[in-house]
Amino acid sequence: MELKSMWKNGRRFVAMGLSLVLLSGTMLLSGCASDGAESTPTPVPTATETQPAPSESASSDTVTPEDLGLDPEQMDMVKYNIYVEMNNKIVEVLENIYSYYEVVEYADEFAFVPDSPYSYKYDISPFDSSLVDDAVLVAGMEPAFETLDDLTVQIAEPMRALMDTFDEIYSCYDFEDNQYAKAKEFHTVIQANVDTFEELAYTYMDAVAVLAVERTQAEEQTMLEEGRTIIYNASHAITVTRELLEECYNQGVYDDNIQDLDLTPIRPLYEELVATVDAYKAAVEDKNQLMAESLSSSPMYSLDSLVQAVDWMIQQVESGSPISDPGRDYLGGIIHIEVVLSDCIDDYNYAFAE
């Protein structure tokens, strides 16, 4: 069995992972309206805040949204949040898989990669697979998420097996005993589940991405209709930056080959970002608009940093020079845009959703 492309090209895998992590942050911008009040984006409650962990007596056949004290709109938010968290954990499991096969051969029989610079357990993270149980529980509950409900059930077992195994590897310190007996047991589980998991993982992340775009568009449209131009422009600046990053990823470009980026589709997105941030700054200077959105002053000061980060990247590409040390947060690099975008998402949630 040949090693899959994910492990042949680590850079592209990392780029995809980062884009999805940032995407999931943007997805947390969605919210719901309270009774008769203007809708306000709120962070979706976590699984632990809204439902108990499944037990032998709890299943999707016996637990209903009403049992959890949730109305349909709240249950929709809970499912959405859990599926977003599943997306995040899928990225982390893929990262662990990539790290694992930097050290161990991709083969049925356990063996180390010859001359690997890394040791066993390199960059392996611990996991709590109870999230998978939560996801399976809500997958059988209304409202239906069609594609994601089915995918959640399909990916649950291989994902749980990998999470639990990586968690055991992380906490195991006697894996060398008896000629790596425990390491061989761990490897058997990983090999048995990795192909199925990888195939479903990318399908799952694609489905979450589609849902995220739909929800972001719907919420931003509602913001415009309600005249909330401050929060709309803050949200849309994040949306446009995410689209710009996705264009870079789709071109197969990251910091180690940034000079290859075709700026033709990038420039219109940059111009839209500049216009959106300018509109945000104009809106927060309007005292009436601040009052209408229950704000006393500008709640975000990081949006200019997004414009600057993208501008630096464009200048880097136009220079034709490669980044001397790709992989670090370099001014003019894609990684720097990702870092700034992540900070903006945090600022947004703090300003508008907490």
Q: What is the pLDDT of residue 354?
A: 56
| CA angle at 82 for the pair 240 and 236, rounded to the nearest 5° | 15
Question: Quick count: other Cβ atoms within 10 Å of Cβ 48?
Answer: 11
pLDDT tens across the length of the chain (354 residues): 344 444 333 333 333 333 333 344 433 333 333 333 333 343 333 333 333 334 333 344 567 888 778 888 889 988 988 998 899 899 899 989 999 999 999 999 999 999 999 999 999 999 999 999 999 999 999 999 989 999 999 999 999 999 999 999 999 999 889 899 999 999 999 999 999 999 999 999 989 988 888 888 999 999 999 999 999 999 999 999 999 999 999 999 999 999 999 999 999 999 999 999 999 999 999 999 999 999 988 888 889 999 999 999 999 999 999 998 887 888 999 999 988 998 888 888 888 875
What is the per-residue pLDDT for 282? 96
Tokens 């008896």 correspond to what residue?
Answer: 178
Is 161 in contact with 169 (CB distance < 8 Å)? no
pLDDT score at 62: 64
pLDDT at residue 42 in the model: 37
Instruction: Pinpoint the alpha helices (H) of the chain.
Output: 5-8, 10-27, 47-50, 72-103, 130-139, 147-171, 177-225, 229-250, 266-284, 287-292, 303-319, 334-352
* Cα gap 221→240, rounded to integer Å: 15
Rounded-to-integer distance, Cα 317 and Cα 313, Å: 6
Q: Pick from 235, 257, 203, 7: which is nearest to 90 by CA?
A: 203
What's the confidence (pLDDT) of residue 131?
Answer: 95
Taking CA atoms, 212 is separated from 22, 51, 153, 217, 219, in Å, by: 12, 23, 20, 8, 11
Q: Which residue has the tokens 């993982």?
A: 201
pLDDT (0 to 100) of residue 351: 85
Query: What residues contact residue 49 under an 8 Å CB cut-off, 6+ apart?
Result: none
Question: What 3-state DSSP class applies to 259?
Answer: helix
Domain parsing of the chain, residue ranges:
44-226, 228-354
Radius of gyration of the chain (CA): 22
> Nearest 10 degrees: CA dihedral of 233, 27, 311, 295?
30
Going from the C-alpha of 275 to that of each of 48, 240, 270, 307, the distances in angstroms are 40, 11, 9, 10
CA distance 342 to 335: 11
